[in-house]
Structure 1
Amino acid sequence: MEPDRRVALVTGGTGGIGSQIVARLAQEGYAVAIHYAGRSADAEAAAAAICDNGGRAIAVGADIADEVQTAAVFDRITSEFSGIDVVVNTAGIMLLAPLVDLDLADLDRMHRTNIRGSFVVSRLAARTLRRGGALINFSTSVTRLQFPGYSAYAASKGAVEAMTLVLARELRGRDITVNAVAPGPTATPLFLEGKSEDEIATLAHVAPLERIGIPDDIAEAVVFLAGPARWINGQTIFVNGGAA
């Protein structure tokens, strides 16, 4: 199907990376469902801006770990646009501390959103996506970079990678690609919060390109996987400037 006939759901579509993915997919002609968990006003404003520019977009809210709420989101998109072709699952949370100090309640929160949420979204995508579709989950380059303080977060994203790569094999014969994108340090408000200029400068030198990524770097890879990259399947794509 041509991009102007394709429909995409972006979970976490109001976040620093998610919002840029929404913008890029809309520019490519996709109808976009912008998922939010708590920032409804931002999602509605983004959808209105896309529609004002001649595109098609709606805002949809849900706790992605709640299978009933998330199924309702998929049903609404299917009703509104007659189907779904691409699911980009950026929604997730990051709670950092050394393993010995991490509150187990924070571990459980990340498990619920990052692992269970990705599982729920992936299962619904597998049941719903049309032929020629794509599911793109989100991991992290920290699974390779091994930054101290990221153990629980990296573990949750390692689980996302595992389920993603297995699902790609389970969908044999469906003509649906399933991949994970693993960003490196990326200049989003969430990432920059609480970091000094020296810390950011140090992280910028991790990659041979000697800079921090920007959301559009990640969105570019997602748009490629969503459309023309039909021979990339069952892979984790590290989008980090060569940092790992």
Structure 2
Amino acid sequence: MQSIFISGGASGIGKAVAQRFLDEGWLVGAYDIIPATFDHKNLVTGTLDVRDADNWERALADFAAHTGGHIDVVDNNAGIIVQGPLQDESPESLKRIIDVNVLGVTLGAHAAHRYLKGGGHLLSMCSASAIYGQPGITAYSATKFYVKGLTEALNLEWKKDRIRVVDLMPLWAKTPLAANDAASIRRLGVKITAEQVADVVWDAVNPSNFYERGKVHYGVSPEDKVLGALGSLAPTRLGRLVNRFIAG
């Protein structure tokens, strides 16, 4: 039975990913700072504070005890948001978002390597806000640029270990994370469901052909795919203009 470990797996996108892979017959580990409350014969649950290296070691070892030692996919899904002008945020809230979204993702990758080596996937939840920095969610956007860079570097670094490293870069999905007043939500709306994101997670770790296997960053909706293409091809001035309009 193939296996996937999901951080932040108790709710939102993480829960939707867990359900999608359970439906496909996988063994699923849904770990979160608050234990998951849903149940399934192929579901393993536990607690995980992604900011703590020992937590990561314990959680992955716990799940690997059910898989025979190897894990096919580690989904670095856990993340939080801080919204508002940077100067209005407390140092404590800024430290927390960096600890969860940057340190947490990095510690997850570090701890996951031994379980993925020899043929596995590391998938991290990035964001369309990593295409061009977004005012109003500045710290969140900056952490997602880090995730994007980490993904690209590890995609090359871990190739020799037969670990494929990818990320998802969607616009806002209908989860509690989108319950904020970011200008991009007012401009573009919240159209993506957690289930749609879960479908792309499935596709990303089950590439159907050589082209798909070469992808590193995955969009979800037509809008974020267009924005991603523009971000990679358009001059910086044009990207700034487009994002200035989106951020209103």
Q: Under TM normalisation by the shorter chain, which class is it?
A: 0.7 to 0.9
1:63 is matched by which residue type in structure 2?
D
Residues 1-244 of structure 1 aligned to structure 2 (within 5 Å): 5-38=1-34, 40=35, 43=36, 45-46=37-38, 48=39, 50-51=40-41, 56-82=42-68, 83-144=70-131, 146-191=133-178, 193=179, 202-204=187-189, 212-228=191-207, 231=210, 232-233=213-214, 235-243=216-224, 244=227
CA distance in 2, matches of 1:226, 1:22: 14
CA distance in 1, matches of 2:158, 2:177: 34
1:216 is matched by which residue type in structure 2?
E
CA distance in 1, matches of 2:110, 2:209: 20
Mind listing any 5+ residue stretches in structure 2 that lack a counterpart? 228-248
TM-score by length of 2: 0.82
Cα offsets for 1:38-80 (capped at 9, x unmatched): 2x2xx1x32x2x21xxxx1110211112111110111111112
Q: Is the 8 A contact 2:134 2:141 kept in 1?
A: no
Identity of aligned residues (%): 25
Which protein is richer in helix relative to its size?
A: 2
State the partner residue of 2:231. Answer: none
CA distance in 1, matches of 2:136, 2:53: 30
Q: Is the 8 A contact 1:37 1:61 kept in 2?
A: yes
CA distance in 2, matches of 1:160, 1:201: 25
Cα offsets for 1:170-202 (capped at 9, x unmatched): 1122222100111201111331x3559x99664
1:121 is matched by which residue type in structure 2?
G
Instruction: Give the aligned CA root-mean-square deviation in angstroms.
Output: 2.2
Cα offsets for 1:95-131 (capped at 9, x unmatched): 1111232222211111111111000111112221153
Q: Is the 8 A contact 2:168 2:219 kept in 1?
A: yes
What SS does the corresponding residue of 1:178 show, helix, strand or coil? Answer: strand
Mind listing any 5+ residue stretches in structure 1 that lack a counterpart? 205-210
Decide whether aligned partners of structure 1 residues 7 and 130 sit closer, same or farther in structure 2, where only a CA change above 3 A counts.
Answer: farther
Cα offsets for 1:113-152 (capped at 9, x unmatched): 1111000111112221153311100111112364431111
Query: How far has the Cα of 1:27 moved from its partner?
Result: 0.8
Q: Is the 8 A contact 1:164 1:234 kept in 2?
A: no
CA distance in 1, matches of 2:20, 2:54: 29
Decide whether aligned partners of structure 1 residues 171 and 149 sit closer, same or farther in structure 2, where only a CA change above 3 A counts.
Answer: same
Give structure 1 regions of 4+ aligned residues with deviation exceeding 4 angstroms. 198-201
